[in-house]
Structure 1
Amino acid sequence: MRPTVIRKSPTHSRSAAATSDGTAFSWAQVSRELGVLPDGSLNMAYAAVDRHAHSVLADKAAFRFLRPDGSAHAVSYRELGTLTDRFGNLLKSLGFAKGDCVFVLCGRICELYVAVLGALKIGAVASPLFQAFGPEPIRSRIALAGGKVLVTTASTYQRKVAALRADLPSLEHVLLIDDLGGGPIPGTLDLQALLLTAPDTPALVATGPEDPALLHFTSGTTGMPKGAIHVHGAVLTHYATARTALDLQPDDVFWCTADPGWVTGTSYGIIAPLVLGVTSVVDEAEFDAARWIHILETERVNVWYTAPTAIRMLMKAGPELFAGHRFPDLRFIASVGEALNPEAVWWGLDVLGRPIHDNWWQTETGSIMIANTAAQDIKPGSMGRPLPGITAHVVRRHPGRPLELLEAPGMVGELALKTGWPSMFRGYLDQPDRYAECFAGPLYLSGDMVRRDADGYYWFVGRRDDVIKSAGHLIGPFEVESVLLEHPAVAEAGVIGKPDALAGEIVKAFVALRHGVVATEALRLELMAHARLRLGAAVAPKEIAFVGALPHTRSGKIMRRLLKARELGLPEGDSSTLE
């Protein structure tokens, strides 16, 4: 059996409970440290780009883009400042005003980052979309927000957007990145040509901490996706949490593998590292295990932020792929997207020489809330502890009555956060009632079920709708999945509650096997026995089904509700973020 705790020595000078000048943590102090102007104005793009573009960091690489063909292209802070000024002034010339919405639909290329930051610079609301979206998710999101400008590639426009124009009356301009070399396309504008002629004079428009800045969509169980609105003041939390939760330091090379179409790819793939003056690696290619190992090694990555799905795919590739590779520069690894199974934490230590630090947050929180930080011991399987400035509780809802605070260690309840951190979302677009349902007095209700141990570490149990009630037991799917992953034949596992006349629900597991492992009845019985031994008969799966792959969102979460809907023949709800 592995130890239950990975002991660590505090080797980093930064205290998790204090700001860099040693004072007790407060958001006001973070604001002063970041240099919010005396009149109270605050602009995300100014904090991320302009502060450095005119400083000693001007010629430092802000981004290093790795192309699929193996070539690379670096963009300095000075160059990024010029490009974003040009894009902001281009939007102004098209009649764009503060508060208008800019959608960006393309791969992880330089133009995406310029468009997001340039839009923020002039007070527009930026909304990056997954390039893999089909036409309907694109149409519904632009229509819901009344988007006026779309930045995309010529190939994506022709395949997914051109036929939608008649259904999008708000969409006034499409700015195309010509990846086809086929010349002008009717009804669109050539982005690269326009940027060459746009003035590079300062484009910054005064914005305040509460002005809308980012629009991120999160999938709903049924119906339309929800558009979570974030403000310019969120940059304070991006800045503070990147230092404490990711241990980012100014001289680091940072790699966040998340696509900006997901909130992590914006908060920590664009904003946070820029605010800290860090150089970010951006891989334009899709996942390839050998390529990722090469990037970690040759780009000399110091801090790596990735997702459980990617980690499990690297584990599935086998340790022989890592033979002969060394990562002496890799100091800190973190994961987010869904809870990280203990086996993956230990895999990082065994194969990469560093444990993987899980953390927890949501689209709605805008930034990391709970984390395993660099200086604290890791309890594999735990989300960690709340970051400075974040107050967390475990609560139980009672219809028609106030929330019950569960203070005793080990009690399972819903994770609730005291409101007031700067990156908290300010609304769901055009859905005020759904927004109001997320709060009870001063508490934000996350919908995630957790337990807190005696040391203040939080442990994920499952979404409120995922928790299984079987013969009087409350069973968290994550615990069952983690035990199944301990078996050497298992690559991934997803667990649901299946209705049962006697027990109410039984536990059913869907298992994807490692490469080369054959699904047999003998293996099924072996997995059931393994789970019964580790979990007990009441919690272990009563049924196991072998599947080729599990459904995931592009952010890496196993879509348990989709597994359940398919098992029971129910409507699948919003599946627009299905990978």
Structure 2
Amino acid sequence: MLIENGQYNIGDICTSRQCRLGRGDRVAMRWLTPGMERRDYTFNELDGLSGRFANVLASLGVGAGEVFFTYLPKQPEQFVAFLGALKLTAVAGTLFSNFGEEALLDRLADARACGIITKKSLLRKIIRIRPQLPDLRFIILVDSDDHQADGIFSYSRLMAEASPAFVTPLTPADAPSVLHYTSGSTGKPKGVLHRHGAVTMINSTAQLVLGLREDDVYWCTADQGWVTGTSYGIIGPWSMGVTQVHFGGGYAAEQWFEILEREEVSVWYTAPTALRMLMREEPLLFARFDLGMLRHICSVGEPLNPEVIHWARRVLAKEVYDTWFQTETGAIMIANRPGIPVKPGSMGKPVDGIEAVVISTEGELLGSGQQGDLCLKPGWASMFSSYLNNAGAYASKFRNGFYCTGDVAYRDTDGYFWFVGRSDDVINTAGHLISPFEIESALIEVHEVAEAGVIGAPDELLYEKVVAFVSLHLGYALTDELQLKIRLHLANKLSSVATPHEIHCLERIPKNKSGKIMRRYLKATYLGQDAGDISTMEE
């Protein structure tokens, strides 16, 4: 039973509870440096370190419900600080380490953050905006041996002076917990606030969708700045007592497969971008590694192109399960998963307890095969509780008794959902509704094409025309012959309506950190317009 005596505190469940269950000596985190050096942290150690950090924050005057941010690359202190803040019942926010000053200011000011933990190389960005952050009382540096002036403290000194013993206060389900900011095409980013009760949904989906078992070794490649990195890179597995691998380096195919083999990873959760990058590697590379312990791969971020699933089956002899959720949903809502047949290209089926429907713009429930707004019946445990300081935006997400996701989809006769695009991504050309994802999937089936992004652009005759952007494999150029090949393939694969009017070649397709193609950025750049907030774009 996950919840004992009414204690919903995520920090306590992920650390102290595991120790109470006799798992204290089990490895909680296998930390791998970029150079592949290994350091194991047991649940006892994680409990003691997060307890120390909770005491550190308490000594700095942090109270329940105050917002504290981490601003770090993936490293052990990230996890200690996140869990320690939650134990104290502060709100834990996470920020990508490549955020610039404007992105930081937007989030820290909106949240009225009381403190932040970071490293010296990032400190100057905070210093420059600090005069505009009257609520920011302190900064903690993970790589400074000494305290500095103006409320800048050394992590190591604070931790050395703090006790590892911390009694987590009884925390109700509705107490605020985690804060993530989402970037929109217009306006400022919105703070998505979650609650401690979300742990029940995250825990159950880690088991039923990711297929995690207590004795697994699990690797989630997501950055903790993203909801996947907190929900399934911290909360889900550790609430089960599962050993996690965390790697401090970036993408490198050979190194990643060395990790999968050496650490005997049994479940791997990664992004479609990573899988598409792996598809570009020579198949002989993968034949060198023994993936016998790996049961399956799960993916999140952008819908999986069918070709990726076929490639994984053919080259890796592994199934890939696509999962769908949003920052606002907090946990997986719809997924292909163990126990049900995979339909390549589909989102899968709703998880237990989730009622998903497709609704027209007039509010009518639509039947099988009809495209409309994907909506969810509210009430699941991990549903966001508010957009911080933006009640109007929160209210606008609910219509006719449903949460409106902003995604366009349809449901087939077997109950599987199929992603069409964001509500502002669907292309209407000559009255035909075209899915950019469908065209992108067909584009990367062309041998020369590595990745693709598709948008609709205004057209006087057609209303919108299809514009494709492609990134090619090394050694290829976008010649007239290749453009003709692409158009013929799309006409044959989809329809003449889906054939791009224009094809442009880019060095890489812009994506955010969860692997989603930033179509609004492609469209704004193409039209010469402001792309809005691009702080989460991959560098």
In which range does the TM-score fall when normalised by the shorter chain?
Answer: over 0.9
Kindly state the Cα deviation for residue 484 of structure 1 after the two structures are TM-superposed. 0.7
1:152 aligned to which of 113, 118, 123: 118
- Distance in 2 (alpha carbons) for counterparts of 1:89 and 1:448: 42
Which 5+ residue runs of structure 2 have no aligned equivalent?
A: none
1:206 aligned to which of 170, 195, 208: 170
Kindly state the Cα deviation for residue 536 of structure 1 after the two structures are TM-superposed. 1.3
Aligned to 1:170: 135
The 3-state SS of whatever aligns with 1:404 is coil
Letter in 2 for 1:331: R
TM-score normalised over the length of structure 1? 0.91
Counterpart mapping for 1:212-251 below 5 A: 212-251=176-215
Aligned to 1:186: 149
- Distance in 1 (alpha carbons) for counterparts of 2:251 and 2:204: 29
Which range is displaced more, 541-550 or 427-436? Answer: 541-550
Letter in 2 for 1:471: A
The Cα offsets for residues 451-482 of structure 1, whole Å up to 9 and x where unpaired, read as 11110010100000000111110111001111
Aligned to 1:405: 365
Aligned to 1:21: none
The Cα offsets for residues 204-260 of structure 1, whole Å up to 9 and x where unpaired, read as 122210010000111011110010000000000110000111000000000000000
Aligned to 2:3: 35
Which range is displaced more, 297-306 or 531-540? Answer: 531-540
Aligned to 1:252: 216
Kindly state the Cα deviation for residue 544 of structure 1 after the two structures are TM-superposed. 1.1
Counterpart mapping for 1:400-549 below 5 A: 403-407=363-367, 409-549=368-508
Aligned to 1:393: 357
Letter in 2 for 1:380: P
Whether 2:334 is the aligned partner of 1:370: answer: yes
Kindly state the Cα deviation for residue 201 of structure 1 after the two structures are TM-superposed. 1.8
Kindly state the Cα deviation for residue 320 of structure 1 after the two structures are TM-superposed. 2.9
The Cα offsets for residues 474-507 of structure 1, whole Å up to 9 and x where unpaired, read as 1110011111111111111101011111111111
Counterpart mapping for 1:29-428 below 5 A: 33-37=1-5, 40-158=6-124, 160-178=125-143, 184-187=147-150, 188-398=152-362, 403-407=363-367, 409-428=368-387
Kindly state the Cα deviation for residue 349 of structure 1 after the two structures are TM-superposed. 1.1
Q: Does structure 2 retain, via aligned residues, the 8 Å contact 1:316–1:515?
A: no
The 3-state SS of whatever aligns with 2:214 is coil
Aligned to 1:576: 535
- Distance in 2 (alpha carbons) for counterparts of 1:43 and 1:560: 38
Aligned to 1:566: 525
- Distance in 1 (alpha carbons) for counterparts of 2:388 and 2:3: 30
Identical aligned pairs, as a percentage?
46
- Distance in 2 (alpha carbons) for counterparts of 1:368 and 1:414: 18
- Distance in 2 (alpha carbons) for counterparts of 1:80 and 1:220: 35
- Distance in 2 (alpha carbons) for counterparts of 1:104 and 1:51: 24
Kindly state the Cα deviation for residue 361 of structure 1 after the two structures are TM-superposed. 0.5
Kindly state the Cα deviation for residue 41 of structure 1 after the two structures are TM-superposed. 3.9
Letter in 2 for 1:118: G
The 3-state SS of whatever aligns with 1:397 is coil
TM-score normalised over the length of structure 2? 0.98
Q: Does structure 2 retain, via aligned residues, the 8 Å contact 1:337–1:555?
A: yes
- Distance in 2 (alpha carbons) for counterparts of 1:462 and 1:530: 21
- Distance in 2 (alpha carbons) for counterparts of 1:276 and 1:565: 43
The Cα offsets for residues 351-371 of structure 1, whole Å up to 9 and x where unpaired, read as 221121111100000000001
- Distance in 1 (alpha carbons) for counterparts of 2:402 and 2:444: 35
- Distance in 2 (alpha carbons) for counterparts of 1:258 and 1:423: 19
Letter in 2 for 1:34: L
Kindly state the Cα deviation for residue 318 of structure 1 after the two structures are TM-superposed. 2.8
- Distance in 1 (alpha carbons) for counterparts of 2:327 and 2:443: 28
Which 5+ residue runs of structure 1 have no aligned equivalent?
A: 1-32
Kindly state the Cα deviation for residue 322 of structure 1 after the two structures are TM-superposed. 1.5
Q: CA RMSD in A?
A: 1.2
Kindly state the Cα deviation for residue 127 of structure 1 after the two structures are TM-superposed. 0.4
Kindly state the Cα deviation for residue 438 of structure 1 after the two structures are TM-superposed. 0.3
Q: Does structure 2 retain, via aligned residues, the 8 Å contact 1:122–1:204?
A: yes
Kindly state the Cα deviation for residue 184 of structure 1 after the two structures are TM-superposed. 4.6
Kindly state the Cα deviation for residue 554 of structure 1 after the two structures are TM-superposed. 1.0
- Distance in 2 (alpha carbons) for counterparts of 1:201 and 1:57: 18
- For this pair of structures, how many residues does the alignment match? 537
- Distance in 1 (alpha carbons) for counterparts of 2:500 and 2:304: 20
Letter in 2 for 1:170: D
The 3-state SS of whatever aligns with 1:538 is helix
Letter in 2 for 1:574: D
Q: Does structure 2 retain, via aligned residues, the 8 Å contact 1:123–1:206?
A: no
Letter in 2 for 1:110: P
The 3-state SS of whatever aligns with 2:461 is coil
